[in-house]
């Protein structure tokens, strides 16, 4: 049987991008890089309060203190390495870097406790059932809950730039709800669950445009709960779709469906996924540019972190939505990251992936490795094995 040339070309392209990532090979690479990173940390001029490698920028490994919103990702990576390999070496390293965040369980000045404490202590408790970790998770959830305003129905994100906003809530904050859901399961106290649901519902109501793309920031009046303005602080423009923000939204509403069974969240996650996957500015390898509406595309930076977060979310969403397409797309993303976005072996401080974009408008972390890209990449690799 003869096929039209256009169909043969389509089949060829699909074959190229449909190859599955070699999970075993990727974890071997990840372990080699992490071994190198641990050596580089020892060589670095690390101050007592610096606990976790965040990025490699301007030729230098950047190590941050426990208060930094990214401090929990590297411990989380170590837990994932232990989970995949069973090697006690990674267990000991995970414990060592996790305990460095201990005091942050009492931190009430940040909404990022989900990132900080659940990626570290949450994975630690899941894999070891250590009661000490359980207690830290509960206290962290209590601290996060202090940032909830019942009038607004949301957890406040930032305390800075009071000249710009009164009660800012960012789409990233959806990622911190998992900590609250877990706290209810661990304690039986439904107040954490209710805060998470309120935050998710209000975000769903106010953060999204008609095409299911998300604003980065929505500012509220803390006295009335009314929306004051909507903007995109880390994206190209207020009405643009910042790539990592769309990934946070996809992941956040997927986990909300997992924890509640509310199909409202499932439908929202699917609509967000469709926005991402059908976007005309999404490259063929499915690793997005840092903002879907940057007018300089394709002459601008990619964001491997947004791709890794999206892949991890799509693996989970595929199971709930019963749509194999989501898994296929996640496979393509992982294959692309594994082939073309590795950091050099024994280079870039020992990070796994390169070519992420942190905060381009602030000229910060552009086309560099970042720890949350590595964290969600390893998570996606683990999830790919379970599907």
Q: Count the alpha carbons within 13 Å of 303 in the hemisphere toward its beta carbon.
A: 30
238 as an active site residue: the answer is no
Rounded to 5 degrees, φ, ψ at 155 are -85, 125
Listed residue (384, 356, 343, 369) closest to 30, CA to CA: 343
- From 172, 219, 294, 331, active-site residue: 172
Residue 17: inside a domain = no
Residue 381: inside a domain = yes
Two tokens, residue 87: 């090697």
pTM, 2 dp? 0.94
Residue 21: inside a domain = no
Contact 353, 33 (CB under 8 A): no
Task: Specify the residue for token string 């870039």.
Answer: 348
Residue 3: inside a domain = no
Contacts 24+ apart (CB under 8 A), 124-133: 124/75, 124/79, 124/94, 124/95, 124/98, 127/79, 127/82, 127/83, 128/91, 133/98
Listed residue (221, 178, 179, 174) closest to 201, CA to CA: 174
CA distances from 10 to 147, 333, 335 (A): 51, 18, 18
- From 112, 285, 331, 354, active-site residue: 112
Contact 386, 341 (CB under 8 A): no
68 as an active site residue: the answer is no
What pLDDT does residue 9 have?
41
Residue 81: inside a domain = yes
Residue 1: inside a domain = no
The total number of structural domains in the chain stands at: 1
User: What is the spatial distance between Cα 201 and Cα 195, in angstroms, rounded to a whole number?
Assistant: 10
What pLDDT does residue 386 have?
80
Host domain of residue 287: 28-386
Q: How far is CA 140 from the centre of its chain?
A: 19
Tell me how far apart the 2 most distant CA atoms of the chain are, in Å: 70
What pLDDT does residue 73 have?
98
b (16+ CB within 10 A) / e for 279-314: beebeebbbbbbbbbbeebeebbbbbbbbbbbbbbb
What pLDDT does residue 5 have?
45
What pLDDT does residue 161 have?
81
Contact 244, 305 (CB under 8 A): yes
Residue 214: inside a domain = yes
User: What is the spatial distance between Cα 54 and Cα 43, in angstroms, rounded to a whole number?
Assistant: 16
Residue 360: inside a domain = yes
Q: Name the binding residues.
A: 112, 172, 232, 244, 248
CATH of the domain at 130: 1.50.10.10
Rg (CA), the chain: 20
The SS3 of residue 259 is helix
The SS3 of residue 382 is helix
b (16+ CB within 10 A) / e for 354-372: bbbbbebeeeebbbbbbbb
Contacts of residue 336, Cβ cutoff 8 Å, sequence gap at least 6 = 17, 285, 286, 287, 307
Contacts of residue 41, Cβ cutoff 8 Å, sequence gap at least 6 = 53, 61, 63
Task: Specify the residue for token string 């071997």.
Answer: 28
Other beta carbons within 10 angstroms of residue 96's beta carbon come to 12
Q: What is the pLDDT along the chain (387 residues), one digit of tens a residue?
A: 443 444 334 444 444 445 688 999 999 999 999 999 999 999 998 888 999 999 999 999 999 999 999 999 999 999 999 999 999 999 999 999 999 999 999 999 999 999 999 999 999 999 999 999 999 999 999 999 999 999 999 999 999 888 889 999 999 999 999 999 999 999 999 999 999 999 999 999 999 999 999 999 999 999 999 999 999 999 999 999 999 999 999 999 999 999 999 999 999 999 999 999 999 999 999 999 999 999 999 999 999 999 999 999 999 999 999 999 999 999 999 999 999 999 999 999 999 999 999 999 999 999 999 999 999 999 999 999 985
What pLDDT does residue 159 have?
94
Give me the sign of the Cα torsion angle 25, 38, 41, 377.
positive
Contact 96, 124 (CB under 8 A): no
What pLDDT does residue 19 have?
65
């Amino acid at each position: 049987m003869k096929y039209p040339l256009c169909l043969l070309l389509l089949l060829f392209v699909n074959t190229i991008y449909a190859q599955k990532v070699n999970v075993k090979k990727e974890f071997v690479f990840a372990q080699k890089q992490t071994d190198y990173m641990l050596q580089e940390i020892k060589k670095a001029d690390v101050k007592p309060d610096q606990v976790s490698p965040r990025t490699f920028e301007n030729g230098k490994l950047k190590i941050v203190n426990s208060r930094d919103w990214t401090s929990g990702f590297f411990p989380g990576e170590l837990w994932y390495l232990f989970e995949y390999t069973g090697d006690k070496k990674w267990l000991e390293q995970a414990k060592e870097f996790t305990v460095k965040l201990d005091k942050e369980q009492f931190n009430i000045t940040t909404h990022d406790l989900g990132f900080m404490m659940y990626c570290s202590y949450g994975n630690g408790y899941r894999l070891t059932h250590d009661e000490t970790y359980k207690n830290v998770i509960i206290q962290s959830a209590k601290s996060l809950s202090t940032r909830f305003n019942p009038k607004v129905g949301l957890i406040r994100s930032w305390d800075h730039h009071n000249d710009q906003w009164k009660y800012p809530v960012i789409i990233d904050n959806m990622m911190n709800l998992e900590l609250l859901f877990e706290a209810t399961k661990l304690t039986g106290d439904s107040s954490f669950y209710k805060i998470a649901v309120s935050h998710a519902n209000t975000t769903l109501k106010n953060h999204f445009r008609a095409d299911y793309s998300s604003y980065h920031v929505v500012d509220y009046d803390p006295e009335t709960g009314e929306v004051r303005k909507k903007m995109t602080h880390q994206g190209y423009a207020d009405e643009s779709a910042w790539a990592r923000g769309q990934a946070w939204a996809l992941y956040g509403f997927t986990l909300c469906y997992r924890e509640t069974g509310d199909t409202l969240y499932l439908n929202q996650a699917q609509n967000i996924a469709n926005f991402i996957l059908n976007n005309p500015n999404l490259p063929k390898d499915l690793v997005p540019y840092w903002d879907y509406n940057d007018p300089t595309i394709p002459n601008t930076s990619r964001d491997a972190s947004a791709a890794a977060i999206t892949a991890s979310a799509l693996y989970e969403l595929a199971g709930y939505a019963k749509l194999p397409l989501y898994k296929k797309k996640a496979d393509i993303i992982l294959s692309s990251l594994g082939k073309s976005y590795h950091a050099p072996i024994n280079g870039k401080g020992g990070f796994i992936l390169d070519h992420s974009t942190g905060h381009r408008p602030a000229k910060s972390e552009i086309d560099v490795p970042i720890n949350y890209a590595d964290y969600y990449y390893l998570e996606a690799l683990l999830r790919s094995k379970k599907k």
